[in-house]
Structure 1
């Protein structure tokens, strides 16, 4: 597999070709955000996860193929700086969780809750609500079965080395840690590939041995 997920701001995107889905990862903006383009290989339909910054570069990823939706994983401004421009150019449907949607700079066309499904061509992504980094943070899961495996887009709720920032609030940390353990680690296999909102990718298997350490340190 040539895909590594190691991208740099100003550098090229990294592309992962699965049988059902093509995943393109691009690093953008002053906060080194990851923006993802998912495209159904059967229909060509596309979806953006976090139009974080640099609308021109995100739009250039699409070439002449359309996208139908932009999902914003949470309300923090570094994850939606390019949202207004991308939606203006593409006419894509905007999607977010209702607890974070009011903060976004454009109206949200579709509000999604835990367990909802988002279509990308003939494929679907499962919405997983992970409370704590923000009230309405969501992850998106593509379950590609035996052929493609599990691919999890976690926003700022899970990174290599720990869960997302909870502002040193023990209540928020306990909520996020519990959600990440119960809704991700307790349910999905070690081979699940994790695509975070910043930085390098990881797998659940690589992070699983550190769960108790994360709990003990409280961040």
Structure 2
């Protein structure tokens, strides 16, 4: 089987700044029938293991360290022996959820991770969180955007560790430079494309999205 993209939706809660909200998260699995990576191990390690279907898990890649994107990461790592990868700027957020267990390796801007013959390029896109990253897979015409870019606009920047101007700079400088046909696989909700979102940059700025 050629490499492809799988989507699993898991449900749980997001907590920050004293509030808690119910959320549905997209867990993305990229790989072939032998090996895969998981992008954002959210809420349910058992469901993720089942979705892997016996494939070797090469890495658990965290787009950022809000609890709803990482709460199942240690359990999944323990079950599979795979490393957890996180940008170091998000360690303060990580420690709010997992104070006793650190990630296994750091993600850096421009780093290339390869699974099933597919290259995933790490794009550091701070704003929603200091260590937020996206993953660009040109061979799949795919961007995994975490909570940096959604269908309809940028991720939220109204809570601790976030900044609106920074997320706009990240999107404008790193994401809108990608081909318009690139499919954006988001951390929550439905997919979009770079081409669909690019025309709205000025609207986002004017609205202080």
| TM-score with structure 1 setting the length | 0.83
Aligned to 2:165: 174
- Paired with 1:121 and 1:24, the residues of 2 have a C-alpha distance of 14
- Paired with 2:197 and 2:127, the residues of 1 have a C-alpha distance of 19
- Whether contact under 8 Å (1:40, 1:123) holds in the other structure is no
Q: Which segments of 5 or more consecutive residues in structure 2 lack a partner in the other structure?
A: 13-22
Aligned to 2:111: 116
Aligned to 2:80: 90
Residue 15 (structure 2) pairs with residue 24 (structure 1) = no
- Paired with 2:86 and 2:193, the residues of 1 have a C-alpha distance of 25
Q: CA deviation at 1:52?
A: 0.6
- Paired with 1:81 and 1:54, the residues of 2 have a C-alpha distance of 8
2:46 to 46, 56, 59: 56
Q: Which segments of 5 or more consecutive residues in structure 1 lack a partner in the other structure?
A: 1-18
Residue 28 (structure 2) pairs with residue 36 (structure 1) = yes
- Paired with 2:153 and 2:138, the residues of 1 have a C-alpha distance of 23
CA RMSD of aligned residues (A): 1.8
Residue 155 (structure 2) pairs with residue 160 (structure 1) = no
Q: CA deviation at 1:168?
A: 7.1
Q: CA deviation at 1:109?
A: 1.6
1:141 to 136, 139, 144: 136
Aligned to 2:20: none
Q: CA deviation at 1:98?
A: 0.7
Aligned to 2:174: 183
- Paired with 1:90 and 1:141, the residues of 2 have a C-alpha distance of 25
Secondary structure class of the residue paired with 1:213: helix
Aligned residues: 193
Against the structure 1 CA distance between its residues 100 and 168, is the aligned structure 2 distance closer, same or farther, given a 3 Å change threshold?
closer
Q: CA deviation at 1:215?
A: 1.0
- Whether contact under 8 Å (1:151, 1:195) holds in the other structure is yes
After superposing the two structures, state which structure 1 stretch, 99-108 or 46-55, moved more. Answer: 99-108
Q: CA deviation at 1:126?
A: 0.3
Secondary structure class of the residue paired with 1:183: helix
Aligned to 1:11: none
